[in-house]
Structure 1
Amino acid sequence: MRRSSLVKTKLSASAAAVALVIATAGPAYGGDEPAPGEAQLHQFAKLPAQTFVPGSEPSGSRLGTAPINGITPPFANQPVQGFSGVLRNADGSFEMLSDNGYGNKANSADFILRIQRVKPNFHTGAVDVVGGINLTDPNNHVPFPLTRPDRVLSGFDFDPESIVRLPDGTYWIGDEFGPFLLHFDCAGRLLSPPVSLPGVFSPENPFRGTTPANLGGSKGFESIAISPDRRTLYPLLEGVVAGDPAGSLRLNEFSVQSGAYTGRTWRYQLENPAYAVADAVMVNQRQILVIERDNNQGDAALFKKIYLADLRDRDGNGAMDKTEVADLLNLANPRGVGGFGDPFRFPFFTIESLLILDNRTLLIANDNNFPLSAGRTPGKPDDNEMIAVRLGTTLDVDHRVLH
């Protein structure tokens, strides 16, 4: 069998594998289904904050030596943290994209960019790290100097925040520093030069020269959605481009076949200009789920919601139509899943991984910003939490999205 056919076969089995994990990991859906318009915590698992890649290189040397939430840097190994994107695998595991490391370009030069592979056990509530790949540029596609001479990519080079996978097993990853789109093979090797978004420059963009930045720092591609036919990418900016209306974010269209932007754009309007988007995934050819959040954590967190947005703009106001499908700070939890009360709160500063498991169930994970975020318990670094959320709304899911 050709490799492309083999990959396609493996991916087509993934939805069934994940569905089996979800179906067998807890009580069956029954009379405690969420009401229309509401959402319910169905399953919970977590990876401890202090989880490191065995035998990896030291990290965190630019964080200083003062304790942060009780954790003292630097670290002997690379932390498994910063989950900013998720993909399903055929065996029931998930690939999680780690972001640039410790929150900015200056302090993340010794953080190696990586796709982690994890497997949650919703019976026990544990998450196992079962593998992963580093992101590299062995063929010199990046035209500006990299941090490392071995061309292993670091958090100083790029800030990867979103990921999709094509049927051939390659990945497209969205970066915030450019913002760029980056195309990697299945082993994490960059396949072509970074693709810039025409006319948009963040302060960290190495190509802008004297051109003024027109996008805020680290406000690039926090999200990428992919069409059900896998032919089109929809990268969504986290920040507003200078000159655009307040709170109006550009959703861009990118052709996989041509490797270029088509020029088509849509507008996603935030509920508050101070909010941000955190991840997005296509439901079908015209609808997209979006996580929208405030910039607070713990008890101060007031807004963490998931919206169903429609590209058709049927009300003609110039922005995608939006319907709320889940309030992550008010999830029903009648069964006490995870040992939490009712309602359950997902009170993290950044909630950046979203995946559709079936037409009423979503997988969601936080970016724990290790060791900086402490949204679950003040003074204690957040774990990487993974939750399955059952919706009261039935989504019109294209079956290809589940493969």
Structure 2
Amino acid sequence: MKSFRALCLAGLATAALACGTANAQQAFPASLDGHAYLDAKSFVAAPADAPEMLKTSGKFTADTRKRVDQIGGIEGVTSLSAPGVPRRTGISLPFEGQPVQGFSGIKSLGNGEFLVLTDNGFGSKANSPDAMLMLHRLKIDWAKGSVERLETIFLRDPDRKVPFLITTEATRERYLTGADFDIESVQPVGDRLYFGDEFGPYVIVTDKTGKVLSVHETVIGGKPVRSPDHYAVGTPGAPGPVMFEARRSKGFEGMAASPDGKTLYPLLEGALWNPEANAPETHEGREFLRIAEFDVASNSFTGKSWKYKLEVNGHAIGDFNMIDATTGLIIERDNLEGEPSKACQGEPKPDCFNVTAKFKRVYKIDFSQADADGFVKKVGYIDLMDMRDPKKLARLGDRNGTLTFPFFTIENVDVVDAEHIIVGNDNNLPFSSGRAIGQNDHNEFVLLRVPELLAAK
């Protein structure tokens, strides 16, 4: 879940026209071969040995920052509402139990099963101390359009491997929460799970049961990279120089793994901060993101990194997974939501979208064709706002032969087989409403046939 940034919103035909997109790149077709969703109102009980405070969630999400214990006492409103014109999502919190929603990272396990990661909670470190960190094994039946949760794994730190104070510090199991880490990507390697985190940013290693084995600080180009939420970064007592390199909520969003499992490639969501310019770092006017290299055998950053250039300044990435040893898939998106056909005409109103989704793409990148400055090649892309549906398989949306993914955050992409990929959204429960007015988005997944994209050079 990301905070709102008013970028490229003022009466623009397209974000690209507003912000200066890159040279035209090759677009490839994407055809819908399956559409499934998990209802937004999907919850799981906290483990029996979890503290009482984790039996309910969302108690600290009121605008006043005051605690609210009454179940359903805080009305859900999309974070992209126009000022003074709230667009309600139809779901209120706090919740009984923990929301399954907010998938931010996926890994195909084969046989229709997928490992997915629940986002850190409700959008920030401050409002998520009662949101448990967890991942799930899902079974998707494309024929039925159903999503079945087979298993849930809760992250915990009973051996005190986390080097800072956590929310459940005084408990035995020490379950981790969204006030401790913001895990956004997951990779299973051997008998371990590796997570990319935004708060540090860190790489976190656990066993298959979710028990933390180690936490690794980020080093890129021989220098430490920290965000304002890093445990060692504090609020200064007086104005002074910048004390962090990665902006809040701009740590590791995607993290790919090499096919042999020996190397991880954590990718920052936003450009590092350039203190001299007092702005995000750019190349020829364009913001770029860093892809680091992490060696699994030594559990350390190698110092090697690459650069991913954004099409439009202010864009974000949603996920990153490899296709083979040198190519991968990255979601690049704008910070907008809403079906374009339901845009407000004139002044914003609660019964229309005041801003609509425009730029939602999956790019294929190639490390082997990186240039002299370390920029990976963008081979081509598919447009998630223009997915073909000749078989009329769409289960939500207009279902007129084309399916859009008009969501604020789209944070799941992976290869399924030689011709197909899976893409899923993060529905930011209860703060996102991009598909239907007055209704929080469900967790949607699409199975896309994209042989041309996967074969492109």
Q: TM class by shorter-chain length?
A: 0.7 to 0.9
Structure 1 residue runs of 5 or longer lacking an equivalent are 1-34, 398-403
Superimposed CA distance per residue, residues 139-175 of structure 1 (whole angstroms, 9 cap, x where no aligned partner):
0001111001331000000000001110x22111000
Q: How many Å apart are 1:278 and its aligned residue? A: 0.8
Compared with structure 1, are the counterparts of its residues 90 and 357 closer, same or farther at alpha carbon in structure 2 (3 Å cutoff)?
closer
2:436 is equivalent to residue 377 of structure 1: yes
Cα gap change, 1:223/1:133 in structure 2, threshold over 3 Å: closer, same or farther? Answer: same
The answer for the alignment partner of 1:11 in structure 2 is none
Unaligned runs of 5+ in 2: 1-25, 48-54, 63-72, 77-88, 237-241, 275-280, 341-355
Partner of 1:242: 273
Shift in Å at residue 394 of structure 1? 5.2
| Residues 130/205 of structure 1: CA separation in 2 closer, same or farther (3 Å cut) | same
* C-alpha contact (below 8 Å) 1:296/1:349 kept by paired residues: yes
Name 1:175's counterpart in structure 2. 197
2:150 aligns with one of 127, 130, 141: 130
Partner of 2:410: 351
Q: 1:373 to 1:160 in 2, by over 3 A?
A: same
Partner of residue 333 from structure 2, selected from 286, 293, 298: 293
Indicate the residue corresponding to 2:101 in structure 1.
81
Partner of 1:14: none
Q: Percent identity?
A: 39
Please list the CA deviations of residues 330-360 of structure 1 after superposition, one character each: whole Å capped at 9, or x if unmatched.
0111111124222110111111111101122
Distance 1:100 1:361, change over 3 A: same
Q: Structure 2 vs 1, CA of residues 192 and 93 (structure 1 numbering), >3 Å: closer, same or farther?
A: same
Secondary structure of residue in 1 paired with 2:402 = coil
One-letter amino acid of the counterpart of residue 183, structure 1:
V
Counterpart for residue 117 of structure 1: 137
**How many residue pairs end up in the alignment?**
362
2:422 is aligned, of 363, 367, 374, to: 363
Report what 2:387 is aligned to: 331
The answer to whether the 8 A contact 1:307-1:323 is kept is: yes
State the distance in 2 between where 1:45 and 1:95 align.
16
Partner of 2:251: 220
Q: Does 1:66 align with 2:74?
A: yes
TM-score (ref. length: structure 1): 0.86
Determine if contact 2:40/2:429 at 8 Å carries over to the other structure.
yes
**Offset of residue 90 of structure 1:** 5.2
Q: Is the 8 A contact 1:368 1:383 kept in 2?
A: yes
Distance 1:218 1:376, change over 3 A: same
What's the C-alpha RMSD, in Å, of the aligned pairs? 1.9
Report which of the two has the higher share of strand: 2
CA spacing shift, 1:55–1:108, aligned 2, 3 Å: closer
Q: Distance in 2 between matches of 1:161 and 1:55?
A: 20
Q: Deviations over 1:267-309 (max 9, x none)?
A: 1000001111111111122212111000001131000001111
1:108 aligns with 2:167: no
Give yes or no for contact 2:423–2:445 (8 Å, CA) kept in 1. yes
Residue of structure 2 in register with 1:8 after alignment: none
The correspondence of residues 274-313 of structure 1 with structure 2, limited to 5 A, is: 274-298=314-338, 299=340, 300-313=356-369
Q: Distance in 2 between matches of 1:93 and 1:286?
A: 25
Measured in 2, the distance between the counterparts of 1:381 and 1:226 equals 32
Residue pair 1:284, 1:396 contacting (<8 A) in 2 also: no
Q: 1:37 aligns with which of 19, 22, 28?
A: 28
What are the superposed Cα offsets for residues 240-280 of structure 1, whole Å, 9 maximum, x if unpaired?
11123141101111111111111111110000011111111
Amino acid at match of 2:196: G
Q: Which of 217, 220, 223 is 1:195 aligned to? A: 217
Does the 8 A contact of 2:58 with 2:127 survive in 1?
yes
- Written as runs of structure 1 = structure 2, the 5 A alignment for 1:199-214 is 199-209=224-234, 212-214=243-245
Matches within 5 A, 1:14-33: none
Residues 289-298 or 50-59, more deviating: 50-59
Q: Is the 8 A contact 1:359 1:394 kept in 2?
A: no
**Secondary structure of the equivalent of 2:388?**
coil
8 Å Cα contact 2:337/2:433 also seen in 1: yes
2:188 alignment partner, one of 131, 147, 165: 165
Cα distance, 1:49 vs structure 2 = 0.3
Offset at residue 315 of structure 1 (A): 5.4
Distance in 1 of aligned mates of 2:152 and 2:412: 17
Which whole-Å CA distance do the structure 2 matches of 1:289 and 1:308 have between them? 5
In structure 1, the residue matched to 2:12 is none
Contact residue 316 and residue 334 of structure 2 kept, 8 A = yes
SS for the counterpart of 1:347 is coil
Structure 2 equivalent of residue 51 of structure 1: 42
